[in-house]
Each structure stands twice: as structure tokens, then as C-alpha cells.
Structure 1
């Protein structure tokens, strides 16, 4: 399928998208079936579900809806590929070459993938092009480098029973069930799939029902790159059906989930029931602490980016902005002015900073939190409403006079709503920042190295950004404390999620005598 230009994607209308089979360049050749055992197949039930354009709420595509029976087939295909197939038996160098080809193909089809991502998710095309797609390619290339470096250890072993040689093997865990969210569809796929493939596992992947398109396109890319049949299986569907079937399946050896803490608890219960390992990257309510000795204008811009990036639909969003009392009023005034200037509109139009939210449910949730914030006594400085009548657009919203006990300061809104709180001292702000069930990410804006050192060590969070925010590097681990999750994505740390350690003892004495 040839790459689609940005210009073509930008002029693609809803009516043309509905007529994809009639030659639309973006969706005409995109598969709408399940990818199981190296074949495109319909759901056994024959059911499909709609993919909606968040700009309008109108249906633009339909995709096969996987259910329990389809998951059974996908797991069987992955099981056969793992137990009998070539992927786990390839050398690390061979697997690394395939992962490199995947990275190359993502770059080759970058314009097309970016357009699909923005159509499916609603994020500005420019962000898909400069962030989501290149970061996804980089992730596969990074783990391609790890594929032949999964070394065990030799361990001295000389005890009362004699002389032995001992060593460890790091082996793939088996069939991995992976469930990914809708806010960064291709990138979250890369975070899960790349380390699992590098370590020799086989995969059953369920993309979010809101954003299945690039997962299906990725299956084509994986096949083109030489991933053997059955190694990756993609089963779009709904959480309570397809997702639950993956979690409950007795032949799935490991579960990996990114999404809400509420659903993460369900996944963890299923993992506990079967006693299989689980990694969870869940919700956040991340504190961003602004010291008194800063350039206020720059701090305002940094905090704006920390919260409004990806429409606020980011688990690590700096959604509790703590500002020192000496600059609080100035900061609030300028933060509201910056948010009011934020350009909200069609993600395919040049200059758009914020597209629509993902769907109507998310739109209603955000508007409900805005109403709660006002009723609880926070002062709304700008925004607060749905923008327009078509699609799922929300005005950038800023609250001041927010207190720690308010729902908007404790619960994850997952939208373009900035909550600004006032603080007085270092000790106070550390304690308040940690007084939350989440611990995913955090940020510090300061020119005082002592303040930076004290706060960065005091915060209970998996990531601390200092004088920056939303920086993601493939080699750097990402994950949370407390209810923000278990385990780490990215970096060397993620390899531990997909391997098991085997210890081997070997006698060094031919006349070994056992008691």
C-alpha cells in the first residue's frame, strides 16, 4: 500500500471515507478483519463495529469485532507459533534484523501512518508526524539492538556436594496478551510489541476499540518485514468481550495492559486468578511544581505543554500545577491567556494545536469534571464548554483556587483542563504532591539546584521531568508508583517483563557421588 501524502489526508472528507472501498487513498486498502495465524479473517460471529471520526462523530470505517471464540483462535495460533514455530528459535541477530525492517517500514509509510493516526484519534497531524510515528519507529529500532544481547550469567558454585558449573538463561515467557489504549495508538503498540518480539515471544494484541486502524496497518507491516505467521495476532474488539477473553485464557502466559486504573484492577484480578505475571501502566494525576525563582512566561508555556499535550489525553499529563504563592497570581493570569489563545480545530488543518477528544463518552466526562470544579469552588478563568456542535471538541479550560481535596485535583480528568494550586514551602509541596493515589509522573520548574534535588528525591513518582516535560526516550523506563501501575515499559527494564530466568547446574566431577 503506497504512502499517503499529508495533502491527500487533509482533503479527505467524511463522505469519501465512507466510500473507502470505492478508492479512498487512505482507507481503501486498509484491512477491516482480524489478523490471526497470518491470515485476515472475519469474526466468527460476523459482527463488525464502527470507527468514528472524532471531528464529526460520523462513521468512517467498520472493523471485524473479535469475541471469545476469535480470541481462542488467536491464542491457539500464537501458542502453535511459540511451541513449534521459528520466531522463538531464531537467533537474536535474526530477530533484530526483522525488528529493524519494521522500523524502516514505519518510516517508509510515515505520512500514511500519521494520517491514519490523526483520523482515528483526532490529534493534530503535525504531532502524529513529529512525535507518534517517529517515536514508534525508534522504539522498534532500539529493541532490535537488544535482541542479541539477552545474556545470562555464569555463577561460581563450589559447595559441600562437590564442584559444579552454574549458569542462567533468559528465555521468552511464551504467549503474551497485550491490551493497549487509544491515546497514542501506534506508539503504545510499539511500547508493548517491540520488547516482546525482541525476547522471542508470540503475541495476541487487542487495540482500543476507538482506535483500531493503525494496529491493523501494523499487522501488514509486520508481515512485510518477515514476522512469521502466528507470531503477532491482532483482535480488535471490546474490553468486556475480547479483552476479558485474553485475560482469562489459560494458554496466555503473561498479561500487559495500559489504560485506566479501574480496568487495570480487573486485569490484575484475572492475572492473580491464573497466577500469571502482569505489567500495568495505569492512570496518573501528576504534580508539576513551579518554584518562585523562575521566568514566569517560560514556566507558563512549559506547564501549558505539560497539560494540554495530546488534548490532555495523556496519563502523565501535568494535571496538578503547584505554583509558589509569590508568583501565583501572575502565573494564573498568564496561563489563562495562553490557554485562551490555543487553536482548537480540525487536526488536518495547519496551525491546529488541539483536535477533538476521542469520543462522546470522554467529552461528557470532561465537561462533567468542569462542572464539578465550579461547584466545588474553583475559579474558572477560561474555557469550560464544548466547542462547536459537531464532533468532540472541548475549549481549553483553566482553574485557579484549586484545593487538594477537590475532585478535579484528585481524579484523572484526561482532558484539556488545567488545575492550578498555590503552595508556600518545599516541605509542604512535596507532602501535598504525594497525597494522591497515583504516582506516574511529575515535574519541577526551578533554577535552584537544592530545590530540584530535594523535590526530585521526595516525589513518589516513576518519572520526574526537570525544566522540561513530556520527554520520552526509548532507552528510559516509564511506569508508576502506587495505583499508577506495576512494572516498567521502555528501556532495558521492559525486557524483564517478557523473559523468565532458568538456572542450570552442571557437575564438573565425572565421579560425582550423591548422598
Structure 2
């Protein structure tokens, strides 16, 4: 846990020197001269202007990654040697943890305590875990006829394009970059235009750790230019994307219109959190429900944005969540005492406010919040917001808001709860609170979600996979299973 004071973080923010160039072939690259402003949601100020990439910069980065894969040492190193480099990346991330946390907070608006203690912990652990895993994988030799030898080997898939969002810019980059590198692939990373700074610092650190030139490249830019160019590029073998379902569809089209590259998608969510009357600790369930929707300003694809509560306890649970929302400390993200920071930008804040206005118009009861606050700061702050009496068919209940907005929906029986939980196009995550073991198993199996948390929320580690069902995507991040996205199976049959 960081012990840096608010005043010290403010001083460091004033002295922060953000990177500005793309990172291609092991060096900073200014590109064609165009630039875009990176605005801090904390106070609306421009942090810097960063080189803006398009097709030309993507071509250069992919060419570097292609050379590094086809002729460079990285795919040909012993897996243990690749693993040592990844663990060295983790060591350097730890050494520069405060600087990276500051970059994340300034570009995304999340509280510095969360950036330092949660986001940086996650990315450090990710590189260390895959570094340790790199030489622990085994190929197969199936039993065949006595006059033949069959080998099934996993080989690196090639050049990986990774496109990641702004809500967890380092964590989600790590979830894609670390396993791809462990497998022997090379990577072109396109961070969100809202949060390029931490990704550029990551690339510098990776080179310092011993990653050869061209193995990890970073191109700044927006989706219609840099993202589209990466998706359409014929020399990209695999595309891994985290973001909205709408943009995920674009990447599938890019694949069809180019070289049929494999596309792995981790998309949106409208996750249900079911609280049954036999919940072992109702106060904990309510506190966790509030934490889950307001953590990271609600800007999480797994956020438990639909609280499904049995009608016999709905009033008690809702009142507890509302009380927690009203006492939550919203403020300067550089203050270590802040519990909820700023939303990522003006456009996103307006989209969330539009959902709130729509919810009121649809007849839901606004129990607390719903207003923009701290406007004098110049930042994009919103009150924690809770609705009840929400119609299950309303936009408020169906659409991903990606903000600190909770919808409470009561139910009378377990089967009704399952039906409500599954009544969404998404299937990323779900929560369930019960003291009955049979109910826990039966309901968990019935929920169409990639992750189900029982009597907790947002728990887990790198040993377990993460990903969604339905329109929440395909493929898995984390765990050994992530390597399936970045490797090809080859069969070799030897006649003896």
C-alpha cells in the first residue's frame, strides 16, 4: 500500500513528464507529425499531446513485429529465457510502481490508491505469473500404432494485434501482452486514445528488461484510424480486443475483409448480482454490491449493475446500498482518501447522464445521486447513483451504462431470479449470495456467464480464466487458457 500523501502526489503530478511518441522497433517514433491531446478527467487539463497514428504507423509497427517474429530471436529463445525477461519486466514495474500509478490516475481519473494498490498489483502479477509459466508447458505425444510416432506441438501464432480500453489500461494490456510474449509471439499494442501514456511507459520498461526490438510495439491513435488499420492488416495473425460489443463487431468484419485473422473478443456486460433471503451475511452482501458498482467509477465490464434482490429483503438491502452510496467519498483522484474519482471524459459523462435521464423518464425511482458534481474542478465527476422500481425491460435494466449507476430489481423465487439474470444479451459475469450449497451449484450452472462469484464479487487470481458468453465475447484472458489464443496446434506424424 502506498504511503504517499496527497500533497506529494500533487507535486509529482506537476513534475510528471509524459511520453509522447509511438514506440516502434524498440525506439520512440514521432510518426507523421499529427498529434492529439490527452486530457486528464481529474481537472480537464491537457496532460500532453501524443503522436497520432494511422495506417502508416500501423504498417511500420506491424513490419517491425513481423521481422522480429520471422527473423528475430524472441520466438527461437528457450521458453525459460523468455520467462526470465517477463519476470524482469515485473521487477521493473514494481520499481516504477508509483510513476505508473500516477500516469494511470492522471489519464483515467481513477483514485491513486486503486491505481497503485490494485491496477499495478494486477499487471505486475500478470507478467510475473506468465514469466514463471513460460517453460512449464508440455506438448503431447498421443498413443498411436506401433509403427508411428505422433507429436502435437504448440507453436506461437505470429504477430498479435492487441487493442485495449482505458478503464484498466495496464491490467488489460498485461492480460494480452504477457501471455502472447510467453508463447513467443510479437505484439502491436494499440491503447485507447484516452490512456496511451501508461502503455508507452510499459513498452519502454519492456525494452529495458531485455525484450528485443520489434517484439512489443505501441501505436497511439483512435479506433477508426489506428484500430481499423490494425484490424485490416494482412500481416497480423491474431487480434485480441477488449471493449464494447459494437466495436467488437467491427473487428470481426475487419478479419473477414482481410486475412481471416483470428479475433478474440472480451466485450460488454450487464452483470446480475443475486441476493437470496438465506444470504449468510446480508450486510456484507449489501456493502459488496455497493463496492462493486462504484469501484472504478462503475467503469467496469463486470460491474454488478443489476442488483436482483428477493422481495422479502429488497428494502433492507437497497437502503443499505443507498446509505453507502451517500457516504462514499468522491473527489480528487490524487487524494489517497478518495474512494471514487472522475469519469474518463466529458463525452462519457454525458452518455452516463443520458442513461440516468432515460431511467427517470422510464419511471424508475431515483433513490440517490444522478447529478454531476465538483464542476469547479474542471473534472468529470458524478454522484454514485441508485435506482429501484426498475422495469426489467427498460433501457436502464438492459443497456450497459459503464458508470456508477445501479438498478435494483426485486424477485420472488429462484427461478424468476435466474430468468431475470439471463434476460440480457451479455454473459460476462454474475454474483450469487446464498448459504445453501445445493442452491449455489444449481443457480451457478443455470447462469449464462463466464464467471460466477458466490458470496463475493470480483475475486480470483491468475490461475482462473476470464471471459464471457453470448455477446460478451469469446476466448479467455488469464490462466493457462489464455495461451490458446496465441498458439497454433501442429500435428507431426512420423512413420517409423
Partner residue of 1:415 out of 403, 407, 425: 403
Deviation at 1:293, TM superposition (A): 2.1
Partner residue of 1:343 out of 329, 332, 335: 329
Find runs of 4+ consecutive structure 1 residues off by over 4 angstroms.
3-9
Deviation at 1:473, TM superposition (A): 1.0
Distance 2:163 2:7 in 1: 31
8 Å contact kept, 1:357–1:394: yes
* Secondary structure class of the residue paired with 2:142: strand
* Secondary structure class of the residue paired with 2:135: coil
Q: TM-score, normalised by structure 1?
A: 0.93
1:282 alignment partner in structure 2: 267
Distance 1:233 1:70 in 2: 10
Partner residue of 1:194 out of 178, 189, 211: 178
1:23-422 equivalences in 2 (<5 Å): 24=15, 26-27=16-17, 30-44=18-32, 46-158=33-145, 163-273=147-257, 274-294=259-279, 295-389=281-375, 390-422=378-410
8 Å contact kept, 1:178–1:205: yes
* Secondary structure class of the residue paired with 1:156: coil
Larger gyration radius, structure 1 or structure 2: 1
Q: Which runs of 5+ in 1 are unaligned?
A: 17-23, 509-515
Structure 1 stretch displaced more, 476-485 or 3-12: 3-12
Deviation at 1:149, TM superposition (A): 2.4
Distance 1:335 1:205 in 2: 39
Q: Which runs of 5+ in 2 are unaligned?
A: none
8 Å contact kept, 1:82–1:174: yes
1:435-474 Cα offsets, whole Å, 9 max, x none, are 1100000001122222212211110000001111112411
Report whether the alignment pairs 1:480 with 2:468. Answer: yes
Deviation at 1:155, TM superposition (A): 1.9
Partner residue of 1:503 out of 473, 491, 495: 491
* Secondary structure class of the residue paired with 1:348: coil
The alignment covers a number of residue pairs equal to 491
Superposition RMSD in Å: 1.5
Deviation at 1:210, TM superposition (A): 0.1
Distance 2:219 2:471 in 1: 28
Deviation at 1:135, TM superposition (A): 1.0
Deviation at 1:297, TM superposition (A): 2.1
1:20 alignment partner in structure 2: none
Deviation at 1:7, TM superposition (A): 5.5
8 Å contact kept, 1:175–1:252: yes
Distance 2:425 2:434 in 1: 25
Q: TM-score, normalised by structure 2?
A: 0.97
Report whether the alignment pairs 1:489 with 2:489. Answer: no
